[in-house]
Amino acid sequence: MTNPLASKPFLDLMKPLIDNGMYSIRRDGRLRRMIMGHRADSPWLHANPGHPENPTGGDCNIWNDVFWDCISKKRMIHSNCQECYKVVLAPRTLVELMRVYDFQQSEPWPCKCGVETRGDLFVSSTYLPVEHLGVCKLYGAYWYCKGLEAGRERWRYVKDWADEVFGVDMHGEGEVSVILKRACTEFERSCGPSDQWTVTPEQEYLEAQVKEHIVWRPMDLTQPRICHEQTIVRWIEWAYGHADETYKHFTGGRDLYPGYVTYQDKRPAEWMNDSIFDLGCSPRVAYVLWGEGIMNIGDLGPHTMKTVSAMTGIGPKSLAEIQTKLNAIGLALEDGDQEG
């Protein structure tokens, strides 16, 4: 073997994932993945991850964290990954992202969408390597396909939907970008153009080692409702923090947080009437309001307030208190909401 990685003891290659508790060694000598739960802070919401056409098997851990990071030291792309083609749609706003989210949740294909947090240069005191730099968009949506032909077929389907929903320009081009790419962005940045990838004999040997020594235990990425709630809250905060004002579509047109008290005119800024914050409305409350179809705080009824309180642990204790706060900013509950 010409590659020194191919002659290195397998446990040496896997040591980082064993030391951090991700994998443990069984009595038969095989390695078993231990951390199987969902992330509480995932930027992505998945749909149909266990679909048989998903080239990743529904879980990229063994191909990315194990083979790419630990085994090949970011020098080889697993043959399974080389068969993975992704349709990539780039929503421009939070409103467009939510349209894509609804579309993906109604379709049978393996896919995900969310905010592009990859490569935040400010989370580290040192510059990140090129393969970890972010992508040039705030939001992303992905459909996973096994093979080029399946990818092109899915691309046409998604492209037609996007052109119909988001429109086309005067030249007939879609307003929202939809492309077909191969495998993960970091692979192409580290190993060069994806149409030039190969699988060497050394790589075949290392892939066989992974298959022999690691117990295949994919995690079910189907996310429960509580994960959807948490992630959509983060999406609203992300939009706010990146000057995407379409987040106000989900807060009744109000600011997510209060504005500054300013002094250039020697008077405090009158932000009280502009901020949903005065009702104790965190991003989580904004999500609940959106889920209930409420675009105006004045539409709040007893059932919705119970839902808000149950999910957030904040908010007024009674409709009387709600009425008082609403009156303070010039809103009023409808008479029908005060009955029962």
Is the pLDDT reported for residue 29 higher than 50? yes
**Contact yes or no for 168/188 (Cβ under 8 A):** no
φ, ψ for residue 179, nearest 5 deg: -130, 170
Identify the bridge partners of residue 142 per DSSP, sorted by sequence position: 88, 112
Among the residue ranges 82-96, 117-131, 211-225, 235-249, the one predicted with the least confidence is: 117-131
pLDDT at 37 over 90: no
Listed ranges 30-44, 55-69, 98-112, 290-304; the one with the highest mean pLDDT: 98-112
Lowest mean pLDDT, pick from 25-29, 60-64, 276-280, 321-325: 276-280
Q: How confident is the model at residue 308 (pLDDT cuts 50, 70, 90)?
A: very low
Predicted local distance difference test score (pLDDT) of residue 159: 96
Specify the higher pLDDT residue, 114 or 305.
Answer: 114
DSSP 24-78: EE-TTS-EEE---SPPTT-SEEEE-TT-TT-TTTT--HIIIIIIIIIISTTS---
**Tokens representing residue 33 in the block:** 């993945």
Residue 272's pLDDT band, with cuts at 50, 70 and 90, is very low
CB under 8 Å, gap of 24 or more: what pairs does 150-153 form? 150/53, 150/85, 151/85, 151/86, 151/87, 151/180, 152/180
Q: How many other CB atoms sit within 10 Å of the CB of residue 267?
A: 9
> Which residues have C-beta within 8 Å of that of residue 94, sequence separation ≥ 6?
139, 235, 236, 238, 239, 244, 246, 247, 249, 250
On the question of pLDDT at 326 being above 70, the answer is no
Look at residue 22 in the predicted model and tell me its pLDDT: 85
pLDDT, tens digit, 9 for 90 and up, residues 190-214: 899 999 999 999 999 999 999 999 9
**Residue 134, both tokens:** 């972010």
Each residue's pLDDT tens digit, 154-180 = 999 999 999 999 998 877 788 999 999
pLDDT digits 0-9 by tens, 87-144:
999 999 999 999 999 999 999 999 999 999 875 544 444 444 444 556 888 999 999 9
Give Cα 19 to chain centroid, integer Å: 27
* Alpha helix (H) residue ranges in the chain: 10-19, 61, 79-82, 94-106, 148-166, 185-191, 201-213, 225-241, 283-291, 302-312, 319-328
pLDDT value at residue 58: 60
Residue 242 token pair: 């990146």
Task: For residue 63, give every residue at least 6 positions away whose Cβ sits within 8 Å of its Cβ, in sequence order, or none.
Answer: 56, 78, 80, 81
Tell me the average pLDDT across 265-274.
50
Q: Is the pLDDT of residue 252 over 90?
A: no
Model confidence pTM above 0.85? no
Q: Are strands 23-25 and 84-89 parallel, antiparallel or unpaired?
A: unpaired
Domain regions of the chain by residue span: 4-222, 251-338
Average pLDDT, the chain: 77
